[in-house]
């Protein structure tokens, strides 16, 4: 197995953008990028200074094909690729390797990070999870992952699912709730950016001293009167009110407080 495999990156979104940049930073042999959206493909190829390949044209001979596409597109894209001796891997935490069939050498390289366009992420600080259906795939992906990141774990699909669930709880839900909080402020003609120093400080404290010590607020204190007032204010927002009520109940229970009555 080559120690510097020739790599084709498939995808044109945020994962492909960040992963492609990281591969070049670590001097990986990225021979090109492929995709279906020709406009986005050409833009990414220009950014990475690599050749662009449409998925329906002849593709270069490579050792590793990385599918940095949406979860729902993995199976369709994998099925469209010609069967070769290359390792084919996806970058999704919630999907197993069966979606890559019928390719013989299948694997996963999943960054535990919410990736977006903009400034490239330092992938050395991002945990990478790898898996493979046989020794060749696992060894190639593990070696590549260790070039990209200082934190690499080999985990099967069942274990990855638990990490993916935990990541949604820790990242996706708080970001959505931040958006809802900003929306409520805008509805009251208040500056939504007032919350950003609080958001940054909360994240920093949680990382430094742990969530249990960083948690504050009325439910943590057992301030049920304030909770009742907040629920009243949320009456026009029934879905958000239910979420607030349930999360408050969970925090109250976790810290030994009684639930507010008359909710």
With a pLDDT cut of 90, the percent of the chain lying above it is: 91
> pLDDT tens across 82-122, in order?
999 999 999 999 999 999 999 999 999 999 998 777 778 88
pLDDT, residue 262, reads 45
- Nearest in space to 80 (alpha carbons), one of 130, 34, 45: 34
What pLDDT band is residue 263 in, cutting at 50, 70 and 90? very low
pTM: 0.86
Task: Report d(CA 251, CA 256) in Å as an integer.
Answer: 9
Q: Which residue has the tokens 């190829």?
A: 45
H or E stretch covering 243:
helix 238-254
Listed by start position, the domains of the chain span 6-155, 160-254
DSSP state of 7: E
Mean pLDDT of 188-214: 96
Q: Which fold has domain 160-254?
A: 1.10.1040
Q: Do domains 6-155 and 160-254 have the same CATH topology?
A: no
What's the CATH code, domain 6-155?
A: 3.40.50.720
Sequence-ordered alpha helix ranges (H) in 89-150:
135-148
> pLDDT tens across 56-78, in order?
899 999 999 999 999 999 999 99
Q: Which residue has the tokens 């969970």?
A: 250
47-66 b/e (C-beta count within 10 Å ≥ 16 → b)? ebebebbeeeeebeebbbbb
- Indicate the average pLDDT of the chain: 94
DSSP state of 217: S
> pLDDT tens across 144-200, in order?
999 999 999 999 999 999 999 999 999 999 999 999 999 999 999 999 999 999 999
């Amino acid at each position: 197995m080559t120690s510097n495999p020739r790599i084709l990156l498939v995808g044109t979104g945020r994962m492909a953008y960040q992963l492609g940049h990281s591969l070049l930073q670590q001097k990986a042999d990225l021979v090109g990028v492929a995709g279906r959206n020709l406009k986005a493909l050409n833009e990414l190829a220009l950014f990475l200074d690599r050749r662009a390949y449409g998925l329906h044209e002849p593709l270069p001979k490579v050792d590793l094909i990385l599918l940095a596409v949406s979860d729902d597109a993995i199976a369709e894209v994998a099925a469209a690729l010609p069967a070769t001796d290359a390792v084919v891997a996806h970058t999704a935490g919630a999907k197993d390797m069966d979606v890559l069939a019928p390719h013989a050498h299948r694997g996963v390289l999943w960054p535990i990070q919410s990736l977006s366009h903009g400034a490239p992420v330092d992938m050395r600080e991002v945990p990478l999870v790898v898996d493979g259906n046989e020794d060749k795939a696992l060894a190639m992906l593990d070696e590549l992952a260790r070039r990209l990141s200082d934190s690499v774990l080999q985990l099967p699909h069942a274990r990855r699912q638990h990490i993916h669930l935990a990541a949604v709880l820790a990242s996706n839900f708080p970001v959505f709730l931040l958006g809802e909080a900003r929306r409520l402020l805008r509805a009251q003609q208040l500056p939504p950016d007032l919350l950003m120093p609080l958001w940054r400080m909360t994240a920093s404290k949680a990382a430094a001293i742990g969530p249990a010590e960083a948690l504050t607020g009325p439910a943590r204190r057992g301030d049920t009167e304030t909770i009742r007032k907040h629920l009243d204010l949320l009456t026009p927002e029934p879905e958000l009110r239910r979420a607030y009520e349930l999360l408050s109940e969970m925090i109250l229970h976790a810290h030994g407080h009684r639930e507010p009555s008359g909710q």
